[in-house]
Amino acid sequence: MEPVVIPAILARTREELLQRISQVNGLVGEIQLDIMDGDFVPNKTVGLDDLVSIPVLKNARYEFHWMVRNPEKWIERIPGSHMHLVHVETIKSFEEIEAAVRKSGGRLGIAINPETPLEALLPFASKVQRILVMTVHPGFSGQKYIAEMEKKIRVLRAKFPKLDIEVDGGVNLETIRGAYAAGANILAAASAIFASPDKKSAIEKLRACALGGGTQ
C-alpha cells in the first residue's frame, strides 16, 4: 500500500479549527480532527456545537478521532461519509456505535492506546474499515513517538493485509519511515505539518521519507 499522509488538527476553539482546516484544504484527501472531552483524556478541544457546522470539503473528507466517552452520542450528530475512529477503551456497546455510524452515513474505525493489549481490539478488527495505533499517549500534540508500537502494527498487518492501518502521534521526518515499514499505510501528522510555513512541502517531504527518501 502506498503511504497516505493526513494532517491532524487539535484545536481548542472554532476559530483555530477553521484556520487549520483552511491551511491544508486542497492539499490532501482527508483531514483528521482530534476531538477530546476532558474526561477520557486530560485535555479538551472543540465540542459538538463547533463541529456540526464545519465547512463541507469539496475534494476531501474528515476523519474524526473521538477521544471521548460515549462516542456514539457524538457520532450520530455528525452526518456525512466521514471516518469515525473510536477508542477500544471506550466501547460499552459496539452495536450502538455501529448504529450511530450507520445513522450518520459514515465509516467506522477503531483506535488503541499504547498501554492497551492488542487482544482487546482483535474482536472488532473484522468489523471496521480502519485501525489506528496510537504511538503516543493521547491528549496532547508534540509528544515523542513510541517506537515499540511498531510491533503492534506488524502483527496487525500480518493478520489483516488489506486493512487500512493508521498511526498517530509523534510522526515526523525521523519516525515516519519506521511506521510505514512496519505496515502502517495512513500516517497522521500534526506538528510536522502545521509547524512548517509550507504545508504542501511538509506533506510531500513526509511522504518521501516514508518511502525511504531521506529526511531532507
Show me where the domains of the chain are located: 4-210
Flag whether pLDDT at 156 surpasses 50.
yes
Q: pLDDT exceeding 70 applies to what percent of the chain?
A: 98
- Whole-angstrom distance, CA of residue 59 vs CA of residue 62: 11
Q: What is the structure's pLDDT at 213?
A: 65
Catalytic residues: 34, 168
Lowest pLDDT segment from 18-22, 42-46, 68-72, 100-104: 42-46
Lowest pLDDT segment from 40-44, 171-175, 184-188, 206-210: 40-44
Q: What is the structure's pLDDT at 53?
A: 82
Q: 142 or 86: which carries more pLDDT confidence?
A: 86
Mean pLDDT of the chain: 94
Q: What is the structure's pLDDT at 169?
A: 94
Dihedral pair phi/psi, residue 45, rounded to 5°: -115, -160
Flag whether pLDDT at 214 surpasses 60.
no
Fold of 4-210: TIM Barrel (3.20.20)
Q: pLDDT exceeding 90 applies to what percent of the chain?
A: 88
3-state secondary structure the chain: CCCEEEEEEECCCHHHHHHHHHHHCCCCCEEEEEEEECCCCCCECCCHHHHCCCCCCCCCEEEEEEECCCHHHHHCCCCCCCEEEEEHHHCCCHHHHHHHHHHHCCEEEEEECCCCCHHHCHHHHCCCCEEEEECCCCCCCCCCCCHHHHHHHHHHHHHCCCCEEEEECCCCCCCHHHHHHHCCCEEEECHHHHCCCCHHHHHHHHHHHHCCCCCC
